[in-house]
Structure 1
Amino acid sequence: MITDLKKEVKFNSSYIIGISFISALGGYLFGFDFAVISGALPFLRKEFALDPLWEGFLTGSLALGCIVGCIIAGSIAEKFGRKPGLMLAAFIFAVSSLAISFSTWLAYFITMRFAAGIGVGMASMLCPMYIAEISPAKVRGRNVAINQLTVVLGILITNLCNYFLADAGDNAWRWMFGLGTIPALVFMLGVLFLPESPRWLMKVGRHEDAEKVLYKIGSEEFVTSTQEAIQKSLKGATSKESYRAVFEKAVRPAVLIGITLAVFQQFCGINVVFNYTSTIFASVGSSLNQQLFETVSIGIVNLVFTLLAMWQVDKLGRKPLMLIGSLGLSIFYIVLAYLLQNHLSAKLVSVFVLLAISTYALSLAPITWVLIAEIFPNKIRSAASTVAIVSLWGAYFILVFTFPILAKVLGTYGPFYMYAAVCFLGFVFVLKKVKETKGQTLEELEENLIRH
């Protein structure tokens, strides 16, 4: 049994939080692209004469790029390390954001949004994994949730920019997208100061380098016990991860849980609210300014409840928060669908949209990423994370591509009844299949997986 890491040891908390925040800046890029499309869509519909099919594809093209980005990130992370992958993600996003702002025809716009998705996909996989690998067990949940905090900050700041740019004329959307270059360059500079993941360094035989990083994180007792635990977990590992190994019998339960949670996080439907805020509120008669103001309200509520989740993830635990979130969303969606169906007050719609956002921000948003970052064994973490996050982005594409079509056929309210059913099924899955992981080291979680 691995017990050393549970002793009282000293950690360099400011250093750990600092490098966690720097690496989590990749999450800001994630949040930026989630939010920018919501503010830009009213302009893009006019610019490119979008019908529901093309609107869905334009929105979802980011996810297709994210799938490619995850696959690229997995290979780079194993061959060259986590740090070079983060650097490349920032560079791709910076270039593509600038290129989008100069789009003159639809095919070019979609191609550049696909390219931006590659950068976002790489960051979405590497940032949580990196943070999990450099964080001590007792603060790992909080630190991985920092990534979600930067996602939320990206959403809020981008929504504010969209709101203030709305009166800049028909080309306002160009400024909305072009501003994404700034955080991408900041992220790229920040990555220069990050250490490499000690778990990756030990996996490739660079034990002295790993030891130096671990000494920056914690005391000698922490360093010794962590090294022993990592070495034990890496016995039999190869220098190159195999995707076939991801589905071996011993690890298959964790992988299937990771994939299901990733897909559930998207099929729960909340990203329809983030991406199509203007469509939802237009259906109850809100003006363009009111629609953009609602995106700002969503961003503020999202931030507040993400902070609450960071406070509770290592206290209340992962499973209780997931159960609260999935059941709560199911209930709120039913009410929201009823309000939209009967064209009731936009203020009432706003209340239940914000209740849904707050519930998601407290639960499924951060906790899914925490679980994906920590439930996979060291030997297959990169490959397994790739499989899970590719599944997540595939589900995101299906979600945002189908919403405009479903809304046209069923009415704006119709899809929310479907999302309510998915959330209830997710509640049952979490209740029966997901185990609590708080307070355990990555190596202890691996031992428990093998034992069961």
Structure 2
Amino acid sequence: MHGGPSFTPTSATGPANVQTTVYLYVAALLSAVGGFLFGYDTGVVSGALLQLRDHFKLDLVWQEWVVAITIAGAWLFAILAGKLNDLLGRKFIVIIASSLFTLGSGLMAGAQSRWWLLSGRLIVGFGVGLSSMTVPLYIAEVSPMQYRGKLVTINQLFITAGQFCAAVVDGIFSTDPDNGWRFMLGLAAVPAVFQFTGFLWMPESPRWLAGKGRNDEAYTVLRKLRGKNADIEDEFNAIKASGKEVNAEKSCAIIEVLADPFLRKRLLVGVMFMVFQQIIAINTVMYYSASIIEMAGFRDQSQAIWLSAGVAFINFAFTIVGVLLVERVGRRTLTLSSLLGVIFSLGVLSAAFYAGNINSPAVTFNVSDSSPCDVYETCGTCIADSLCAFYHNADSLKAACVLRHVNETAQHPVDWIKETSMCPVPNHLGWITLTGLGLYLVFFAPGMGPMPWTVNSELYPLWCRSTCFSIATSFNWLFNFLVAMTFLSLTEALTQQGAFLLYAVCAVAGFIFFYFMQPETKNTSLEDVKARSNQAVTISRH
């Protein structure tokens, strides 16, 4: 019947047929360590950047590159991940990714120069790119339909756990400015080695095995994942049928997808999920949370790092809410409600920074009557003009807005402020900004955090799943890179309030798009996607 051992189900239908096993959970959780590494290596830079900035004398552009080079590597390998997954299998790619995490972490911990540091960050990015696409795909393909959303969302929970652990590690080593960053960046090697070792004993995806015509192995793996008393005949037959279609597929998958109206729409939704996740500022908040907290007026470096750890914990805690709700309320409801909250919280952040800028130290005297900087009345408005710098002496209460080329050597350098992040603001406004950051993650974490990965793992049939997921993931990292490379510069060009207002406008656009375009994939089997696709093509041809 199927080339595997015969099986007589103990019950026909009903909840008894839906079973989970310890083997399934071990496979899902161990693969999700890749999500933990994804979160740790992208989140650790928030606190480490403050020390790296001083240790390596990094200017604004170098700071952005230290953050963005990992994202650039992730983007490149996310593009390659689809083909590599099809050729080598999900299991082998997870093992490769954990090897790259280990190598990159070691290089960063031992970095003696900027370029050495960048090489380690780039290699870690390669691991992130492979892991970010492969892990949710693997979990979706080994999970039963009724638990798929919850198990895939656990990957996002591990990502946020990685970000939180990174923030705690940053806080612990924040008191050692000379070598603390080495421990921050190097400790990722520990879970990477754990995953590499453990995953050697994990199964390959039964759907990938069926796609390679290895039906006996696929049946054996599915039986171990579902349990000895589960009825797997219908699920296996559907997987085997999809596998035959993969084997028969001779043309370019992406051309076939674009020729199919149903799949073309789904690919658009999948890609836009990834794009909007990035342009509504999540990784601006996570990569630069310590810097944003500094901008809000918390000048002590260790304090800023520990406060950013609190922000990361909120992200982790409210991702648990997403895990609990994803199978109850559905993907669509979580997405739309999340975006509404994000719009509100970004508005709070923008308003808080605006209030901080207009309440920053006032100009008390003018250096000359002819300077174009004389028109500005506060530190925030002064520094927003790239031509001007703010001189502020707290002891003498002297403050002036002057041209940046004015000779500063006669004054103590600490008195000169050239970045908007360094303008002192009233303490209560700083706490409003911190509240805005917390609210942002309260709303983002249950919905727009996990849903792009969960939904993309469910949108496509097996024969094009790796290709479409890879394309969508590459857009995630492309826009992640663009946002990371431009945030600090954007705050200089538009001010902090302008930057967060721009992100809020993007969130409004995202809400409109998903309100009209997002399908509900709750309680839909992965094989049922193929049937819907064929039905859509048949209708379009008549």
- TM bucket (normalised to shorter chain) is over 0.9
Query: Which of 333, 337, 344 does residue 346 from structure 2 map onto?
Result: 333
Larger deviation, residues 322-331 vs 212-221: 212-221
Where 1:364 maps in the other structure, the secondary structure is coil
* Structure 1 residue 146 displacement after superposition: 1.0
Q: Which has the higher contact order (CA 8 A, sep 6+)?
A: 1
Pair 356,173 (structure 1): closer, same or farther in 2 beyond 3 Å:
same
State whether residues 102 and 193 of structure 2, in contact with CA within 8 Å, keep that contact through their aligned partners in structure 1.
yes
Aligned to 1:248: 259
Q: Note if 1:65 corresponds to 2:77.
A: no
* Structure 1 residue 327 displacement after superposition: 1.4
Aligned to 1:272: 284
Q: For 1:217 and 1:6, how far apart are their aligned partners in 2?
A: 18
State whether residues 76 and 84 of structure 1, in contact with CA within 8 Å, keep that contact through their aligned partners in structure 2.
no
State whether residues 212 and 243 of structure 2, in contact with CA within 8 Å, keep that contact through their aligned partners in structure 1.
no
Task: State, as a whole percentage, how many aligned pairs show the same letter.
Answer: 30
Q: Note if 1:310 corresponds to 2:323.
A: yes
Aligned to 1:237: 246
**Structure 2: runs of 5+ lacking an equivalent:** 1-10, 357-427, 537-542
Aligned to 1:226: 235
Q: Note if 1:415 corresponds to 2:477.
A: no
Q: For 1:5 and 1:367, how far apart are their aligned partners in 2?
A: 33
Q: For 1:5 and 1:272, how far apart are their aligned partners in 2?
A: 51
Larger deviation, residues 236-245 vs 342-351: 236-245
Aligned to 1:108: 116
State whether residues 31 and 152 of structure 1, in contact with CA within 8 Å, keep that contact through their aligned partners in structure 2.
yes
Larger deviation, residues 285-294 vs 415-424: 285-294
Letter in 1 for 2:159: V
Q: For 2:65 and 2:154, how far apart are their aligned partners in 1?
A: 30
Pair 236,103 (structure 1): closer, same or farther in 2 beyond 3 Å:
same
Aligned to 1:92: 100
Q: For 2:112 and 2:496, how far apart are their aligned partners in 1?
A: 30
* Structure 1 residue 90 displacement after superposition: 0.1
**Structure 1: runs of 5+ lacking an equivalent:** none
Give a deviation string over 1:351-383, Cα, whole Å, max 9, x none: 111110111111111111100111011101111
State whether residues 69 and 122 of structure 1, in contact with CA within 8 Å, keep that contact through their aligned partners in structure 2.
yes
Pair 312,329 (structure 1): closer, same or farther in 2 beyond 3 Å:
same
* Structure 1 residue 17 displacement after superposition: 1.8
Aligned to 1:169: 177
Pair 170,162 (structure 1): closer, same or farther in 2 beyond 3 Å:
same
Query: Which of 416, 432, 443 does residue 359 from structure 1 map onto?
Result: 443
Q: Note if 1:400 corresponds to 2:506.
A: no
Larger deviation, residues 266-275 vs 71-80: 71-80
Aligned to 2:413: none
Q: For 2:241 and 2:324, how far apart are their aligned partners in 1?
A: 32
Q: Note if 1:79 corresponds to 2:87.
A: yes
Query: Which of 472, 475, 486 does residue 391 from structure 1 map onto?
Result: 475
* Structure 1 residue 245 displacement after superposition: 3.3
Q: For 1:166 and 1:198, how far apart are their aligned partners in 2?
A: 45
The structure with the greater share of residues assigned to helix is: 1
Where 1:50 maps in the other structure, the secondary structure is coil
Aligned to 1:283: 295
Q: For 2:272 and 2:533, how far apart are their aligned partners in 1?
A: 17
State whether residues 213 and 243 of structure 2, in contact with CA within 8 Å, keep that contact through their aligned partners in structure 1.
no
Aligned to 2:221: 213
Letter in 1 for 2:485: F
State whether residues 19 and 230 of structure 2, in contact with CA within 8 Å, keep that contact through their aligned partners in structure 1.
no
Aligned to 1:323: 336
Matched ranges for 1:123-138 at <5 A: 123-138=131-146
Q: For 1:103 and 1:397, how far apart are their aligned partners in 2?
A: 23
- Root-mean-square deviation over aligned CA pairs: 1.8
Q: For 2:198 and 2:508, how far apart are their aligned partners in 1?
A: 41
State whether residues 206 and 217 of structure 2, in contact with CA within 8 Å, keep that contact through their aligned partners in structure 1.
yes
Q: Note if 1:436 corresponds to 2:447.
A: no
Letter in 1 for 2:58: L
State whether residues 141 and 314 of structure 1, in contact with CA within 8 Å, keep that contact through their aligned partners in structure 2.
yes
Aligned length: 449
Letter in 1 for 2:162: G
Matched ranges for 1:45-56 at <5 A: 45-56=53-64
Give a deviation string over 1:267-304, Cα, whole Å, max 9, x none: 11111111111221111210212211122111221121
State whether residues 375 and 446 of structure 1, in contact with CA within 8 Å, keep that contact through their aligned partners in structure 2.
no
* Structure 1 residue 141 displacement after superposition: 0.3
Pair 5,40 (structure 1): closer, same or farther in 2 beyond 3 Å:
farther
* Structure 1 residue 7 displacement after superposition: 4.5
State whether residues 51 and 177 of structure 2, in contact with CA within 8 Å, keep that contact through their aligned partners in structure 1.
no
* Structure 1 residue 174 displacement after superposition: 1.1
Q: Note if 1:299 corresponds to 2:383.
A: no
Query: Which of 456, 462, 465 does residue 381 from structure 1 map onto?
Result: 465
Q: Note if 1:185 corresponds to 2:193.
A: yes
Letter in 1 for 2:128: V
Q: For 1:56 and 1:299, how far apart are their aligned partners in 2?
A: 20
Q: For 2:288 and 2:12, how far apart are their aligned partners in 1?
A: 45
* Structure 1 residue 105 displacement after superposition: 1.8
Pair 51,203 (structure 1): closer, same or farther in 2 beyond 3 Å:
same
Letter in 2 for 1:245: E
Greater CA radius of gyration, 1 or 2? 2
* Structure 1 residue 244 displacement after superposition: 3.1
TM-score, normalised on structure 2? 0.80
* Structure 1 residue 252 displacement after superposition: 1.1
State whether residues 254 and 449 of structure 1, in contact with CA within 8 Å, keep that contact through their aligned partners in structure 2.
no
